Amino acid sequence: MTKKQKKTLIRIIVTTVLLIVIAIAENMIAFPSDEPYQAVPWDELRSRIIFGMYLIPYLIIGHDILKKAYKGIVHGQVLDENFLMAVATIGSMILGEYREGVMVMLLYQIGELFQSVAVGKSRRNIAALMDIRPDVANLVTDENGEESIRTVSPDEVEKGSVLVVSPGERIPIDGIVISGDSSIDTSALTGESVPRTIHTGDEVISGTINMNGVIRIRTTKPFGESTVTRILELVENASSQKSRSENFITRFARVYTPAVCLLALAIAVIPPIVNTVIGNDANLRSFVYRALTFLVISCPCAMVISIPLGFFAGIGGASRSGILVKGSNYLEALSKVDTVIFDKTGTLTKGVFEVVSIHRQKLSDQQLLKYAAYAESYSTHPISRSIVNAYGIEIDKGEVSDVEEISGHGVIATVSGSRVIAGNEKLMNKNGIEPAHCHDGGTIVHIAVNGEYAGHIHISDIIKESSPRAVKSLHDIGVDKTIMLTGDAKEVAERVAKTLSITDYRAELLPQDKVSAVETVMESRNKKRGCTAFVGDGINDAPVLTRVDVGIAMGALGSDAAIEAADVVIMDDDPLGIVKAIRIGKKCMRIAYENIYFAIGVKVIVLILSAFGLTNMWLAIFADVGVMILAVLNAIRTLRVSAL
């Protein structure tokens, strides 16, 4: 608890004890019958004493509410919950309902304390993410030709500086490892519990924790541009982006509160006037009591507090799972997503080429792979690298000579005295060799040795292990259309789409074609109420990410462009994060609507009962404080997202 919360709790306890003592003492106060010479009758004196007794706990528990109500009146912001509570409780005290007046204020403060604790819990979850902010950096300096390590603030470190990070320390700034091997804990950023192994030459991200070995890194950015700073700015600014539900509640409260105040005034004034006109007892006290009860019930704090709290907690829960949402409006949009457009490479697939299969003629698989790997060993093309990696044995380049790389076709080289041709069908045909036709989707590298066709190697961008489950889960939670965009050939796109059960695809797209493809999809979906999401790896995706209803960047750890352009940032590269983000959005919206319907429903029923004098202040207290506590309890359920 904070210091302020502890003070409020003490006031609540003191007020409760005083109420119990006063309730006992009230029944013990007895005076003799009135004497004619007394200045004040005993009954009036008793009433004054009891009023004074109840005034003490009333001021203890309610002085801050009264002060806020007064300031609101002075500044022209009259119709808020403080004003409603002040009028209702002061009115109760004037009517002689001292105990009810104090109890209304006491239970309101209990509700406020409960709400404050709930918000504090949500803020602590955000604060847990904020703990990724490094406090110090160990800067390597050269003083008089001698190396020394100086502890400085991270914002004093310039780009290109060398830092030492010991085990257990947080990496303060993005950089590249220049010495040392270790493993780092990225769970604070990605939600992933498995440590990541790093070696010299690897990139490291600020906010992660070095777990074992001492490493030295050369910074690639200043602290103000590092990943940790960007993430913290994103989370801190998320609350400024309001959802439609939050904006509705704000507008509703502006109309609702003045309306109920006028209704309360009408209840207090009109019936007594009518009764007087028709010759009946005005019964003013009864109708004023009804009006005060009406005011207590009408306080909109259950909705005004619980709806933003639910979204705030949802953003906090998502951030702990490595999903950064830039505002509650995007949580709301996520809940309505019915179309998801994927950029294939790096999102559904790993974005790296691998040898999938080997189809040989007379040679063994290993012999065919060896000829191909040796022939491709001088090339830096990703396809060549994948063949060399698949071979997995150190290549003796002394056995390779007369290498000729033909752009867009392949490689011709002499390997251990044999002439090897490795490339596409065009290269085979050009050299008078008839290649076998392969029906597999992907890249096919044909191999010929000494003018004779030897076989072919099937190379493809590998589908991520979790992609099939992610696409199926999306369909299960209400996404009725999934579309894949790729620059690959139609055969490759068709194979991936069929494997993943994706409903549609667009193949052979140039980077600039993706925007028009997305716009075409969105135009065809405009008649529906659902939202369209685009999922990419953040590389060259900025135009598309900003065009759709929800732009989602995956694998964005360390990608400034992705964090800047996307509405939702998934820090790791697991497609299941998309499903989780949508589920979090749906849960937040479901809870928001539950609170709206529950709060309005209960209040309307009790307001009607109170207008007809069928309820009292105690039921009014439940309709206000009780509903608020239940709504807040419901709202903080959005923090629990681990099982989604």
Q: What is the dihedral of CA 80, 84, 90, 91, to 10 degrees?
A: 150
CA distance 130 to 229: 10
- The yes-or-no verdict on residue 371 having pLDDT over 90 is yes
Where in the chain do CATH 2.70.150.10 domains reside? 137-169+175-220
- The residues, any chain, with a CB within 8 Å of residue 567's CB and separated by 6 or more, are 325, 326, 327, 330, 333, 545, 550, 551, 552
Closest of 277, 233, 310 to residue 585, by C-alpha: 310
pLDDT per residue as tens digits for the range 534-547: 998 766 677 788 78
**Tell me, what's the pLDDT at 238?**
60
Lowest mean pLDDT of 108-122, 417-431, 434-448, name the range. Answer: 108-122
In the chain, the percentage of residues whose pLDDT exceeds 90 is: 27
**Tell me, what's the pLDDT at 354?**
86
**Tell me, what's the pLDDT at 559?**
59
- The yes-or-no verdict on residue 248 having pLDDT over 80 is no
pTM over 0.85? The answer is no
- The yes-or-no verdict on residue 3 having pLDDT over 60 is yes
Average pLDDT over residues 325-344: 90
Element (H, E) at 226: none
pLDDT per residue as tens digits for the range 568-626: 988 888 899 999 999 999 999 999 899 889 988 888 888 888 888 888 777 887 778 88
Cα–Cα distances in Å, from 8 out to 1, 121, 140? Answer: 10, 17, 50
- Split at pLDDT 50, 70, 90, the class of 37 is very low
pLDDT per residue as tens digits for the range 156-190: 899 999 999 998 888 999 999 999 989 888 776 76
In the chain, the percentage of residues whose pLDDT exceeds 70 is: 89
Is domain 137-169+175-220 in CATH 2.60.120.380, yes or no?
no
pLDDT per residue as tens digits for the range 208-223: 889 888 999 999 988 8
pLDDT per residue as tens digits for the range 550-573: 999 887 554 566 667 788 988 888
CA distance 286 to 292: 10
Residues 368/409, Cβ–Cβ less than 8 Å: no
For 169, other C-beta atoms within 10 Å of its C-beta total 19
Average pLDDT over residues 304-319: 83
- The yes-or-no verdict on residue 473 having pLDDT over 90 is yes
More confident residue, 567 or 31: 567
In 145-259, DSSP assigns E strands to 146-152, 162-165, 175-179, 182-185, 196-198, 203-204, 209-210, 215-219
**Tell me, what's the pLDDT at 324?**
84
pLDDT per residue as tens digits for the range 295-306: 878 777 777 778
- The yes-or-no verdict on residue 235 having pLDDT over 70 is no
Coil/strand/helix, residue 8: helix
Kindly report the CATH class assigned to 350-463.
alpha beta
- The yes-or-no verdict on residue 128 having pLDDT over 50 is yes
Q: What are the backbone angles phi and psi of residue 506, rounded to the nearest 5°?
A: -125, 120
**Tell me, what's the pLDDT at 41?**
67
- The yes-or-no verdict on residue 231 having pLDDT over 60 is yes
**Tell me, what's the pLDDT at 560?**
62
CA distance 591 to 33: 60
CA distance 16 to 23: 11
Catalytic residue list: 343
Average pLDDT over residues 321-328: 84
Average pLDDT over residues 104-132: 72
Lowest mean pLDDT of 82-86, 132-136, 171-175, 400-404, name the range. Answer: 132-136
Residues 506/519, Cβ–Cβ less than 8 Å: no
Where in the chain do CATH 3.40.1110.10 domains reside? 350-463
Lowest mean pLDDT of 56-60, 90-94, 386-390, name the range. Answer: 90-94
